[in-house]
Structure 1
Amino acid sequence: MIELTWLYDPGERGQSAEAWAIYSALFTQGTKAAYIDLNDISWNGDEQLTRRGFAALWRVYEEAGARHLVVFGGAAGDAVAREYADLVPGARLTVRRGGR
């Protein structure tokens, strides 16, 4: 099973650093982890292209052996997180609001 931790912040106040810290801690503990910041892969508001990029990145990470994916979803919360989690077959999703 793949663990997917989705961190979001409605105010987009830079919680990507918090998501990166989660990823770094997992990696340091020996977990094969991966990290995606949706702000880094978005394409001028083209949600479909962003989702395709997300799925492609996940496939590369999965082939490399990743078992935990940490995502910073910007302002996108629960509903969007579930849609993206569907792109990671077998993922167990945990959604957290940043800054908590």
Structure 2
Amino acid sequence: MASEVELLDALKTVVDPELFVNIVDLGLVYDIDQDQEGKVKVEMTLTSPSCPAGPQIIQQAKMALEQVAGVTGAEIRLVMSPPWSAERMTEEARDQLGIF
């Protein structure tokens, strides 16, 4: 099994192509669960329900997770509740985007 840190590090390689910030620091990842067989399930959202990059971000997240040692598969579940807001971003992401 992969550690939560390894899974988060993999997800940090996925960058929103419009904001140029990774999905973890943007606060898009809500929940990560891994079963005993190594299957990872992630609940995440997008900055907007109509985000044109949504399918690309979801596919990249799945691929990034499946490259982690010990992960046998990944499922990304897109949720819109609670809705994303800028308060979910890390301090680093806020600095990068100039949000204070």
TM-score by length of 1: 0.34
Structure possessing the higher relative contact order (Cα contacts under 8 Å, 6 or more residues apart): 1
Higher helix fraction (1 or 2): 1
Higher strand fraction (1 or 2): 1
Which of the pair has more CA radius of gyration?
A: 2
